[in-house]
Amino acid sequence: MSHVKKIVTPLTEEQVKGLQAGDQVSISGVIYTARDAAHKLLTEAIQTGEELPVDFKGQIIYYAGPTPAKPGQVIGSCGPTTSGRMDAYSPTMMAQGLKGMIGKGPRSKEVVESMKENNVVYFAAIGGAAALIADSVKEAEVVAFDELGPEAIRRLVVEDYPCIVAIDAQGNNLYELGVEQYKVTD
Amino acid sequence: MNHSTETCMRELSVDKITEAVKRLCIEAACDLPEDVEKLIREAVDKEESKFGKYSLEKIVKNVELSRNENAPMCQDTGIVVVFAEVGQDLRLVGGSLTDAINEGVRQGYEEGYLRKSVVEDPVLNRKNTGDNTPAVIYTELVPGNEIKLQILPKGAGSENMGALKMLKPAEGLEGVKNFIIQAVTQAGGNPCPPVIVGVGIGGTMDKSTLLAKKALARHAGEPHANPEYQALEEELLEEINKLGIGPQGFGGKVTALAVHIETYPTHIATMPVAVCLNCHAARHKEVTL
């Protein structure tokens, strides 16, 4: 495979600008898991002006809800979930200073527009490769919404988590470019 | 009366069903069936796109790792769909079939360290039940004195991309093909392609969706018994793989691994078509007791 760009979190504006759709990256540092229910609670808190349990400035949210860790494990299987379900919440999170999102599958036009406005990057991980991905997770701790079980917000420390830049901050979109390239019209 | 289908009355303790369901839930989560794995391995060779091939190679590695380490291949270990074919000469003793199946799910998801992904109320509270119950259970009475259990833990990423249309008979075969292709196109990269496409045609609205789900329980890639439907499955697979969606939606030649069609007679005025998609982690296990 081609050159892999190493990324250490939190993300800077310059780092985000330097990433292009189709880049292979490996992410190290802290990332936060949040999916449907946590996003609902976070955006509700933002609307009512409550303080958030995590400061998302410069951070990456990973759309994931892991399986329980077996004894001796840091985390269970931990692959990405479908990002599209978070589309309704993502612009609000980007306005909070969020710089990156990791998930799987395409995003809405509104999300891509908001990414361009806020200089945010969207990484794709391989959906369904969850046992493999767990190897990159070195620490895991629930930091908010414990009552949500698998949907709680977890602070993960990852090492060389492999991802692909699916949509960059300029709006270049691998889901469109790739499909266009391989579409066969009779 | 057809005497040839009669068997001797037999008793079976529901505890055996709990035990089997528990075992199958864990096995399904960690051990991808060989039929699906074979199709994924073939896809690695067929795929030409860089990221498509990369994804498939990772998926194959993940299948091997999850099997060797008895770890769930996907963190979405699903809501459990159970197809139970109950012999009419089988007498279940010691409790209810439904309770026995749910107890098996409860034990399997706890002891197997599988994710509990079921919420109590679909709209109002969406509170996690904490044990992945209840399962979605379909029972069918069949001749014989055995029970066949098929377990399909179904992830929601692909389930969300299902589609149903009540076609007019005038829309014909072309209408059916167009709707199926449209459903897969709209799903795009969301359902974790390469997918298995389950199609149910005929019956009523509800029957067609059930057939589409049942189509996913078929041995992956096994063709329909009717040569005309077999040809339709092949044609649809070819058309779907021209869409360019590719593994994970990154673009590529392999968007689907197989198309399975199931049909049922229908009313003179209708032609329901349902599409149920399964991700590449097409987990299915079965046992006959």
pLDDT single digits (tens) B177-217: 999 999 999 999 999 999 999 999 999 999 999 999 999 99
Q: Does residue A162 carry a pLDDT above 70?
A: yes
Q: Three-state SS for A35?
A: coil
Which of B:1-30 have CB within 8 Å of A? none
> Which CATH fold topology does A4-182 show?
fumarase (3.20.130)
Chain B interface, mutation test: which of A137, A176, A182, A184, most B Cβ atoms within 10 Å?
A: A182
Distance of CA A54 to the CA centre of its chain: 15
Quote the tokens at residue B73. Answer: 């291949």
Q: Does residue A7 carry a pLDDT above 80?
A: yes
Enclosing H/E stretch for B138: strand B136-142
CA distance B63 to chain A (A): 8
The whole-number pLDDT of residue A186 equals 77
CB-CB contact of B260 with B284 (8 Å) = no
The whole-number pLDDT of residue B1 equals 47
Chain A residues touching B279 at Cβ < 8 A: 127-128
**Residue A39 annotated as catalytic:** yes
CA distance B244 to chain A (A): 4
Which amino acid, residue A146? D
Q: What is the mean pLDDT of residues A25-29?
A: 98
Distance of CA B35 to the CA centre of its chain: 13
How far apart are the C-alpha atoms of B191 and B5, rounded to whole Å?
42
Phi-psi domain of B93 (left: phi exceeds 0; alpha: psi -120 through 50; beta: other): beta
Q: What percent of chain A has pLDDT over 70?
A: 99
b/e burial code for range B205-234 (CB count within 10 A of at least 16 → b) = eebbbbbbbbbbbbebbebbeeeebeebbe
Chain A residues touching B192 at Cβ < 8 A: 104-105, 127-128
Sign of CA dihedral B224, B227, B230, B236: negative
Task: Check if A22 contacts B (Cβ < 8 Å).
Answer: yes
Assess: ipTM above 0.90: yes
Q: What is the mean pLDDT of residues A69-90?
A: 97
DSSP assignments along B141-187, one per residue? EESSS-EEEEEEEE-HHHHTT-EEEEE-GGGHHHHHHHHHHHHHHHH
Q: Which residue has the tokens 């030409």?
A: B48
Measured from the Cβ of residue B79, the count of other Cβ atoms closer than 10 Å reads 20
CB-CB contact of A1 with A24 (8 Å) = yes
Which of A:88-127 have CB within 8 Å of B? 104-106, 124, 126-127
Task: Check if A76 contacts B (Cβ < 8 Å).
Answer: yes
Chain B interface, mutation test: which of A74, A179, A185, most B Cβ atoms within 10 Å?
A: A179
Cβ distance A126 to B55 less than 8 Å, yes or no, reads yes
How far apart are the C-alpha atoms of A69 and A75, rounded to whole Å?
4
Cβ distance B242 to A128 less than 8 Å, yes or no, reads no
CA distance A37 to chain B (A): 9
CA distance B97 to chain A (A): 28
Q: What is the mean pLDDT of each run of 10 residues along chain B (289 residues)?
A: 70 98 98 97 97 97 97 97 98 98 98 97 95 98 97 97 98 98 98 98 98 97 97 98 98 98 98 98 97
pLDDT mean across residues, chain A: 96
Quote the tokens at residue A170. Answer: 């300029």
> Rg (Cα) of chain A, in Å, rounded?
16
Q: How open is the CA angle B110-B280-A89, to the nearest 5 degrees?
A: 75
The whole-number pLDDT of residue B5 equals 61
Chain A residues touching B251 at Cβ < 8 A: 174-175, 177-182
The whole-number pLDDT of residue A2 equals 59
CB-CB contact of B286 with B202 (8 Å) = no
pLDDT tens-digit series, residues B81-97 = 999 999 999 999 999 99
For residues A165, A170, A176, A178, the Cα torsion angle rounded to the nearest 10 degrees is: -50
Q: Does residue A20 carry a pLDDT above 90?
A: yes
Sorted by where each begins, the domain ranges of chain A are: 4-182
How far apart are the C-alpha atoms of B73 and A131, rounded to whole Å?
5
Q: What is the 3-state composition of chain B as percent helix, strand, coil, each rounded to the nearest 5? A: 40, 25, 35
Task: Check if A68 contacts B (Cβ < 8 Å).
Answer: yes
Task: Check if A148 contacts B (Cβ < 8 Å).
Answer: yes
State the alpha helices, DSSP H only, in B5-155.
14-30, 34-46, 50-69, 97-111
A39, A99, A104, A107: which one is catalytic? Answer: A39
